Amino acid sequence: MTEDLYDREVLLQRDLADFPKLLAGDQMDTAEPRRWALVAREASVPDKQGGNERWSADHLFVDQDAIPTIVEVKRSEDTRRRREVAGQMLDYVSHATLYWEADDLRKTFEETCEAEEVLPEQELAELLGDDEEAIDDFWDRIEANLRSGNVRLLFVADDIPSELKRIVEFLNEQMSTAEVLAVEVTQYTSGEKTAYVPRLYGQTEEARQSKQATTRPDHDEDDFLDDVATKESEGKLTASKATALRDLYEFIRGEADDHDFGGTANVSVTARWSVLGGSAGMFTLNSTGKVVFWQPANIHDPDESDWSHETLIAWYEDLATISHPKADVDRFTSDKKRLPIDALVEKEDRERFKNACLDFVDACSQQ
């Protein structure tokens, strides 16, 4: 195969939209490769609150940590990229961090999905996995990242000149919250076959050390209980729902093999039993008043599972005995299963729930 430069800038823009893996997310973070959702091509950037479009970024992507990623594309033959592209990108980000808002970005994303004939919910599920809380507050997290300057700027070209590489490295080393990188996408062709090789520039050791942590905050028991108490005092949770959440947390703490905390705007706790395999998570208790159940490991492949599919079905049927109209077995037919805390405000119902979970663990351990 021979190296083949892009004839037109729009072709490279199209390929990035169609194949986001060209953004080299696996090179940005080898431990947790970046995944992408396209919010918009030609993303408009206003120059004031409520203003009209002043600039237009080639692409706006977001990753699984709700970090907005602004992409500017230039072909190697466009000599302007050496003189203008850095200043152009700074225009975008300095105004986007002030004036882009969650509701507008969500609407733009939905319009993009509609044009591509895909469901927005499906796109977010593929990006975020089974983390229901992450989906619930995704757009608010994006806006929060914008306001704090936690953004990513990507310069993409089929050839990145040395001058631009140094600009990118310098900016990335100097900025403590924003990440500035360049991706060189080399195109190889042979007859009708085409291959692409992305290469990342800008991640120097100095840049890594300059960044502030962008991972989710570490939570603990006090954070969870304080969050429940705050929501109760603000009227977001009734007293009976708050009591149910505290009681279920005590159940997790006393019976689960392990538990861990997560979430951003809302604190959650996940109960884990090692016999379940995989990540060993059975359910997550969210301070908003939701119980989310996780599909145990290998359940779709009986030959690889330590216990039978019938055991899982029996557990779901046990959960259906809880006296609440929404707590029937049909609630547990998809990969992601939810139970509102409303179903567990009565002590008798919570005891049924706890017994169903313990019976499930016991049945799994005996197989």
Q: Which residue has the higher pLDDT, 36 or 26?
A: 36
Confidence of residue 330 (pLDDT cuts 50, 70, 90): very low
Q: Are 158 and 22 in contact (CB under 8 A)?
A: no
* pLDDT tens-digit map of 65-80: 899 999 999 876 655 5
Task: Look up residue 181 and give its two tokens.
Answer: 């990188």
Average pLDDT over every residue of 133-142: 79
Average pLDDT over every residue of 186-201: 84
What pLDDT does residue 74 have? 81
DSSP state of 47: S
CA atoms within 13 A on the CB side of 166: 5
Residue 255 neighbours by CB distance under 10 Å: 14
In angstroms, rounded to a whole number, what is the distance separating the alpha carbons of residues 323 and 111?
A: 41
* pLDDT tens-digit map of 271-303: 888 877 655 578 888 898 888 776 554 444 444
Confidence of residue 326 (pLDDT cuts 50, 70, 90): very low
In angstroms, rounded to a whole number, what is the distance separating the alpha carbons of residues 334 and 321?
A: 19
Closest CA to 275 of 292, 293, 298: 298
What pLDDT does residue 152 have? 96
Cβ-based burial of 125 (10 A; exposed 0-12, middle 13-18, buried ≥19): middle
What pLDDT does residue 187 have? 80
* pLDDT tens-digit map of 331-358: 444 444 667 788 889 898 899 889 888 8
Count of H-run helices and E-run strands, the chain? 14, 12
What pLDDT does residue 4 have? 66
CA atoms within 13 A on the CB side of 265: 16
- With pLDDT > 70 as the criterion, what percentage of the chain qualifies? 77
- State which amino acid sits at residue 59: H
Average pLDDT over every residue of 102-130: 89
Which residue is it, tokens 């016999």?
Answer: 275
Average pLDDT over every residue of 326-332: 44
Q: What is the DSSP string of 49-61?
A: TT--EEEEEEEEE
- State which amino acid sits at residue 69: T
Indicate the domain borders of the chain: 2-210, 221-365
Q: What is the DSSP string of 105-148?
A: HHHHHHHHHHHTT--HHHHHHHHHTT-HHHHHTHHHHHHHHHHT
Average pLDDT over every residue of 239-243: 95
What pLDDT does residue 153 have? 96
